[in-house]
Structure 1
Amino acid sequence: MPTQPSTFPTRWTRCWRRSVETSPIPPRCSRTVRWLLALAISWAASPGLAQPLEPDPGVRAALMQAVAEADSFEHRFDAEVWLLDMATRLDAYGAGQGDGLEILRMAHQEASRAELPPELVLAVIDVESRFDKFAISHAGALGLMQIMPFWLDEIGRPDDNLFRIETNLRYGCAILKHYLERENGDLGKALARYNGSVGKTWYPERVLKALSQRWYER
């Protein structure tokens, strides 16, 4: 774990700024780039604060709302283009274990529902489970986005299956969205809180590195 402030957020911010200013980015991609750039800038400007990490009513409420909703691609053509692009990357990465297309479709659906860039969600999945829907951590977190099972009882849905792709991604996106709102849009702090490493930068750095190297839609 890094003990000194990392220079990665600054490098990341410069990288995204160059992309926005010099690259011909389609409108939808441009919105994603600018969203991430704004978050990266806010992270680079904000010192990390160590705080206790524990279940809170805000996450419970966000999850209860998320499990009752569903979304899909707005335009079929966009869906086909995005899925083909990301499926090619996922296949080259050797992940997904035969469920790659379904994971991608559901990741886009749940990220869009939570107003998160789908590529960011893919980066979180990449780091958390390497796209293994049956992943189990040493702490007992389950599935693609490594959800702790206690949330099932917290929101009164003990029978939900966190190894089910859609269920796991809905929980994970709802939790990440809640932490972004809680941290006033600070992506670094939100990612650290999602991972349970509040005040540290190693986890956000890993996610943003995965995003820039494998999942950013050029």
Structure 2
Amino acid sequence: MRWWHTLAFATGVLCAPFGFAGNQKEEALADSIRLALSNAILDARPPKPTFTNPADRQRYEQWLAQMSERLRRKLPDEQHRIEFLETAWYEARRAGLDPGLVLGLIQVESAYRKYAVSIVGARGYMQVMPFWTNVIGDSDRRKLFNMQTNLRYGCAILRMYIDMERGDLYLALGRYNGSRGRPEYPNAVLKAWNNWK
């Protein structure tokens, strides 16, 4: 069973209600949710996709080429850009998310800046709040500037919020940003997602 299924099952206890920079609110987590998130973060599998058939591999390679071309101006170094896209795709799929949604969220949150820090202290590509390292990680906040770690945290947290909101992406995005119920942030991410489909 995938970790997000465990998370969806356990997501009974979490309550929370702006800034476009990932001001997630620290909330009381049920032990089962904390454990599911911790296991998702600790999984050290490398972000290398595997495919069961050639058609899936071909679709992935086409996606990678298209997204790489679109991101060329934001991430000019080709090796870094490919690594970033491979990781974003892997972590998004691992969490049961559309990779385009993750790219749209990153566009809004950090404009693809690895070392972005918001005025509320959110860090990295997906603007993860440092308190998450205490809640589900090893308390090393510096790791939030590591590409794979940041994307893994961000995707796991977004998946948790989607599950908490019973699939309502609009409310989940608001919760991710700490602006639940307000339209600006979810609308910005949904608009950006359309650019990455």
Do they fold alike, i.e. is TM over 0.5?
yes
1:209 to 175, 188, 191: 191
Alpha-carbon distance change, 62 to 206 in structure 1, aligned in 2, over 3 angstroms: farther
Q: Does 1:54 align with 2:26?
A: yes
Report the CA distance between 1:61 and its aligned residue. 3.3
2:124: which partner in 1?
Answer: 143
Alpha-carbon distance change, 203 to 162 in structure 1, aligned in 2, over 3 angstroms: same
1:43: which partner in 2?
Answer: none
Q: Does 1:159 align with 2:140?
A: yes
How far apart, CA to CA, are the structure 2 residues paired with 1:150 and 1:65?
A: 17
Larger RCO (CA under 8 A, 6+ residues apart): 2
Q: Which runs of 5+ in 1 are unaligned?
A: 1-49
How far apart, CA to CA, are the structure 1 residues paired with 2:34 and 2:108?
A: 24
TM-score (norm 2): 0.77
Per-residue CA deviation, residues 7-29 of structure 1 (Å, 9 max, x unaligned), is xxxxxxxxxxxxxxxxxxxxxxx
Q: Does 1:102 align with 2:83?
A: yes
Return 71-80 or 196-205, whichever deviates more: 71-80
How far apart, CA to CA, are the structure 1 residues paired with 2:120 and 2:152?
A: 20
Alpha-carbon distance change, 137 to 63 in structure 1, aligned in 2, over 3 angstroms: same
Larger Rg: 1
Alpha-carbon distance change, 156 to 125 in structure 1, aligned in 2, over 3 angstroms: closer
TM-score (norm 1): 0.70
Q: Does 1:78 align with 2:59?
A: yes
Kindly tell me the number of residue pairs found equivalent between the two proteins.
164
Question: Is the contact made by 1:144 and 1:168 (CA closer than 8 Å) also made in structure 2?
Answer: yes
Identity of aligned residues (%): 46
Report the CA distance between 1:78 and its aligned residue. 3.3
How far apart, CA to CA, are the structure 1 residues paired with 2:105 and 2:74?
A: 14
